[in-house]
Chains A and B, each alone.
Chain A
């Protein structure tokens, strides 16, 4: 079949459905796999898998403190394909956190969030929040030791917010500690409210992508258009089938974790928050909570919302890393940020005990301002050096700054996840 030029033909109803999502003709460059890596589509597919497996799981799960754990044990051992469905749900959920984050990185680094796409970036951030909220509310439902203490630790982070932190944490938990109301609220959010919000925001997201003219591409004088069916749709189906096959295969061999039933009187050692929040937990170990739980998150959130609206001097929409120099700077920033964060945490853990040395001064200096400066001065100098060396303009520098922040968070997350054992002490 000639895939370059469409001939007049009748579309089947399935094809017509695909043409509601895509235009009939599409720029050849938008079809290339390494333009989008199919990440947005994978997220949508994972959402569908999660919705379907979730609906099935609802037939077995009982959202009460007394019966939640037993219902999961029962599902695992006495229900045909029960464990498989649960593994599939668990894997897809974790995968969704990763893929939606990669999707966020992709649209940012390929400069696809500006002008008419800026609004959609905000909805993307909202959905990133919804993904984390869904994962987090689902985390508690098995009511085992892992679930109970991970959620306890995470809700406790909110208590560090001044003025309303304690009441906010109590509102989320509906009490001083996790209880039957927490479980019921989380269950309702997880299986009712959040999926509904997803349907709304996903639709909006898709519609705005089309309204903005599809995938962002660099400007070019002559563009080659190809029909979406079969060029793009075949690729999409291939990715979807491969993903489903991989998930099914993994679910057959991997078991979603289930520890002993939750015991509010016994904390496991060590106790960790859900893995994607471990960067925040790591930060709390080193930095005053006013910084790590309030100032930094609020500042970063505002910064991320503002990113598409900043005043850029040399914006190349659709160009990866904005320019070849931008690419080099981003790679160097990532390496620098990883090594620097790793080294700083090692030093703070083993050698630099400002809280002991400066115990006479207020804690917001010893574990607030000092670590903050220890981090920002070298990072600032590095960014300034990169700015001079590569003769780049503000677009690339902002990009390098975001890279440093993201890689620092990921480094902290990995350290907390892999390198901290009993008592949250470093393993080396």
Chain B
């Protein structure tokens, strides 16, 4: 019993150390991606090193989709013919706005919030947003 309590306390103490380490390396995760004019409508732009696809929709809205498949975390590929995304690992398919078209994935692709400063777009990769379905409110407009 006492050992159990000590173990839990130890985990809590260690966890502090671990997450502090993680926080240090998570600084500077606001990725500048430039002016909105440089992106064509209905196009997808990969930012693989920063783990997102930047999608500009027909109406001019932006969505930064995580490249991580929601099934088991593989990196999804852009599908030229459907405009959506395919997972190479377990064959999940996603629509252009990130919703599931084919299982085994069970929820839409996560996305990162986008902020606009002086007409420039910034993707905040320190925050991963989960969602149940695609909503217009997830898009960012300049």
A206 to chain B, nearest CB (A): 20
* 0/1 interface trace, chain A 63-77, chain B, CB 8 Å (1 if under): 000000000000000
- Contact present for B104 and A285 (CB under 8 Å): yes
* 0/1 interface trace, chain A 312-332, chain B, CB 8 Å (1 if under): 000000000000000000000
A181 to chain B, nearest CB (A): 5
Q: Provide the residues of chain B in CB contact with A153, threshold 8 Å.
A: 72-74, 89
* 0/1 interface trace, chain B 94-136, chain A, CB 8 Å (1 if under): 0000000001101000000000000000000000100000000
- Contact present for A267 and B74 (CB under 8 Å): yes
Q: Provide the residues of chain A in CB contact with B74, threshold 8 Å.
A: 149, 152-153, 267, 271
- Contact present for A152 and B73 (CB under 8 Å): yes
Interface residue B54 (Cβ < 8 Å from any Cβ of A):
no
CB nearest neighbor in B for A160:
B106
Interface residue A403 (Cβ < 8 Å from any Cβ of B):
no
* 0/1 interface trace, chain A 278-296, chain B, CB 8 Å (1 if under): 0001001100110000000
* 0/1 interface trace, chain A 323-356, chain B, CB 8 Å (1 if under): 0000000000000000000000000000000010
Tell me how many residues of A have a C-beta within 8 Å of chain B. 34
- Give the docked Cα–Cα distance between A155 and B74 (Å): 12
Q: Provide the residues of chain B in CB contact with A177, threshold 8 Å.
A: 51, 68, 73
- Contact present for B88 and A269 (CB under 8 Å): yes
| One of B18, B75, B88, B128 near A176 (C-beta < 8 A) | B128
Most chain A beta carbons < 10 A, residue from B74, B89, B91, B104: B89
- Contact present for B18 and A174 (CB under 8 Å): yes
- Give the docked Cα–Cα distance between A333 and B45 (Å): 54
Q: Provide the residues of chain B in CB contact with A270, threshold 8 Å.
A: 88-90
* 0/1 interface trace, chain B 32-76, chain A, CB 8 Å (1 if under): 000000000000000011010000000000000001100111110
- Contact present for B91 and A281 (CB under 8 Å): no
* 0/1 interface trace, chain B 6-20, chain A, CB 8 Å (1 if under): 000000000100110
Interface residue B5 (Cβ < 8 Å from any Cβ of A):
no
Q: Provide the residues of chain B in CB contact with A425, threshold 8 Å.
A: 91
| One of A269, A281, A355 near B72 (C-beta < 8 A) | A281
- Give the docked Cα–Cα distance between A264 and B54 (Å): 18
Q: Provide the residues of chain A in CB contact with B80, threshold 8 Å.
A: none
- Give the docked Cα–Cα distance between A262 and B130 (Å): 26
Q: Is the interface of A mostly helix, strand, loop or mixed?
A: helix
Q: Provide the residues of chain A in CB contact with B91, threshold 8 Å.
A: 423-425
- Contact present for B106 and A265 (CB under 8 Å): no
- Give the docked Cα–Cα distance between A269 and B76 (Å): 11
- Contact present for A181 and B103 (CB under 8 Å): no
- Contact present for B18 and A285 (CB under 8 Å): no
- Give the docked Cα–Cα distance between A284 and B71 (Å): 9
- Contact present for A175 and B72 (CB under 8 Å): no
Instruction: State whether A185 and B88 are in contact (beta carbons under 8 Å apart), knowing that A149-B74, A265-B49, A289-B106 are contacts in the complex.
Output: no
CB nearest neighbor in A for B67:
A265
Q: Provide the residues of chain B in CB contact with A185, threshold 8 Å.
A: 18
Interface residue B21 (Cβ < 8 Å from any Cβ of A):
yes
A130 to chain B, nearest CB (A): 14
- Give the docked Cα–Cα distance between A179 and B73 (Å): 14
- Give the docked Cα–Cα distance between A112 and B72 (Å): 39
- Contact present for A284 and B73 (CB under 8 Å): no
Q: Provide the residues of chain A in CB contact with B26, threshold 8 Å.
A: 175
- Contact present for B18 and A171 (CB under 8 Å): yes
Question: Which chain A residues in 167-190 approach chain B with CB under 8 Å?
Answer: 171, 174-177, 179-181, 185
- Contact present for A363 and B75 (CB under 8 Å): no
Q: Provide the residues of chain B in CB contact with A149, threshold 8 Å.
A: 74, 89
Q: Can you list 15 A-B contacts (CB < 8 A)?
A: A152-B74, A171-B18, A174-B19, A175-B22, A175-B25, A175-B26, A180-B25, A181-B21, A264-B75, A267-B74, A267-B89, A269-B89, A271-B90, A423-B89, A424-B91
Which residues of B are in contact with A by a Cβ distance under 8 Å?
A: 15, 18-19, 21-22, 25-26, 48-49, 51, 67-68, 71-75, 87-91, 103-104, 106, 128
Given contacts A174-B19, A271-B89, A284-B104, 13 further A-B contacts (CB under 8 A): A149-B74, A152-B72, A156-B71, A156-B72, A156-B73, A157-B72, A171-B18, A177-B51, A181-B22, A264-B51, A265-B67, A271-B74, A271-B88
Cβ-closest 10 pairs across A and B: A156-B73, A267-B74, A269-B88, A271-B89, A423-B91, A265-B48, A156-B72, A153-B72, A424-B90, A267-B75
